[in-house]
Amino acid sequence: MKAASRSGFARVWFGLDRTLLFTLSGLIVVGLTLSMAASPSAAERVSPGDPFHYLVRHTMFAALSVVLMMAVAALSPKGARRFAGLMLVGSLLGLIVVAFAGHEVNGATRWLRFGSFSLQPSEFFKPAFIVIAAWLFAEESKGAPVPGRLAAAGIYVLAVCLFIDQPDFGQTILLTGIFAAMLWVAGLSVLHTALLGSVAISGGVAAYAFLGHVRDRVARFLEPASAGGPTQTDMAVNAITRGGFTGVGPGEGEVKRYLPEAHTDFVFSVAAEEFGLVASLAIIGLFAILFARAWSCSMRLSDHFAQLAVAGLALMFGGQALINILVNLELAPAKGMTLPFVSYGGSSMLSLGLAAGLLLALTKRTPGAYLPERSRAAMVPA
């Protein structure tokens, strides 16, 4: 029994894509390192006398995230899809509960409160939706009597309505971009892609015209002087500038002392200030490797469902990182979106661990999972 168990573990371990695994591990280590730099100042503001409050919690969530990642990575593609289905149902129910009994923070109602822990269902919805949408697209492409695209679009519209009610436009933009890209990869025509793009642009214009929250964010981004003082993104850019090429040194940064979200949304600016351009490029490089490797795997997989799901998960990790970094560089309006595995955040860390597990499960090297070069052209959807 023990030998069989070891054999099963060995098959899972040696089947995992090492590049993805080590890149994800590197991001988790970077997050813990930056938490040591950024979180003590934030902890002193909310819990005087306990400078390691956020560091301890970040370490705990990171460890639990790794456990979840490896547990999900051991699943077969069918098991990963079933798990994603359960997570989709659970997160949708959570989003509905948030609409009626959510916990409000800074004017946004996105969380369910359980004692000292806040759960954000939207974080768990994203990877689950990506995998299930990929399955629906793949089933339709096989000729199954299932309106896959229509069903996925219905789930997407419901989720967007719940996101906007919170309001959470950052997640809405990210989910919309991923869903549109998956539709295109799945074989949506150029005409239909253009029509959906027009609908998305019209929705953005309507949000700006009728929702004051969106209008204010865009106005502060376009005219920072209208805020009546330095904004959080101004402080982040100043910190990045101070860091220069090699940084001011570990623990010597200033932005973490007065920027409220330095350990979450703006942790990239802390890294740039204390460790310089070298560290900033290293973080960007890790995300670039993660995206490129996942995308490359998706193009070589033999199963259409796995192709679409892995491509969508790659876009989720890459898109979320890109949005966060652009906000830190004042190249996009503030979105309240974490830097995957690097920022502090319980729901974010746990959901990303599950997403990473799904990515590893679907890219495992098993018999027939990948086709030789000459067979890949046949797998591209018409």
Q: What is the chain's alpha carbon radius of gyration, rounded to the nearest angstrom?
A: 21
Task: Give the residue, 15 or 108, on which the prediction is more confident.
Answer: 15
DSSP category for residue 145: S
Environment class of 141 (CB within 10 Å of its CB; exposed 0-12, middle 13-18, buried 19+): middle
Domain boundaries, the chain: 14-367
Q: pLDDT at position 7, please?
A: 56
pLDDT digits (tens, 9 = 90+) for 246-304: 999 888 888 888 888 888 889 999 999 999 999 999 999 999 999 999 999 999 999 99
Calculate mean pLDDT across residues 118-146.
91
Res 374 pLDDT > 70:
no
Closest CA to 313 of 338, 282, 290: 290
Averaged pLDDT score across all residues of the chain: 86
Closest CA to 130 of 145, 152, 110, 107: 152
Calculate mean pLDDT across residues 77-100.
96
Res 101 pLDDT > 50:
yes
Adjacent-strand bridge partners of 104: 109
Of the CA atoms within 13 Å of residue 6, those in its CB half-sphere come to: 3
Calculate mean pLDDT across residues 39-65.
85
Lowest mean pLDDT among 7-21, 114-128, 253-267, 317-331: 7-21
166 pLDDT band (50/70/90 cuts)?
confident
In angstroms, the CA 301 to CA 380 distance is: 10
pLDDT digits (tens, 9 = 90+) for 169-227: 889 989 999 998 998 888 777 777 777 777 778 877 777 776 666 677 666 666 665 55
- Alpha helices by DSSP H, listed for the chain, are 2-15, 18-46, 53-73, 77-101, 121-141, 148-165, 169-185, 190-210, 212-222, 232-243, 255-258, 267-300, 304-328, 346-362, 373-376
Lowest mean pLDDT among 5-9, 75-79, 251-255: 5-9
CB distance 53 to 93 below 8 Å:
no
Q: What's the predicted TM-score (pTM) here?
A: 0.90
In angstroms, the CA 60 to CA 71 distance is: 17
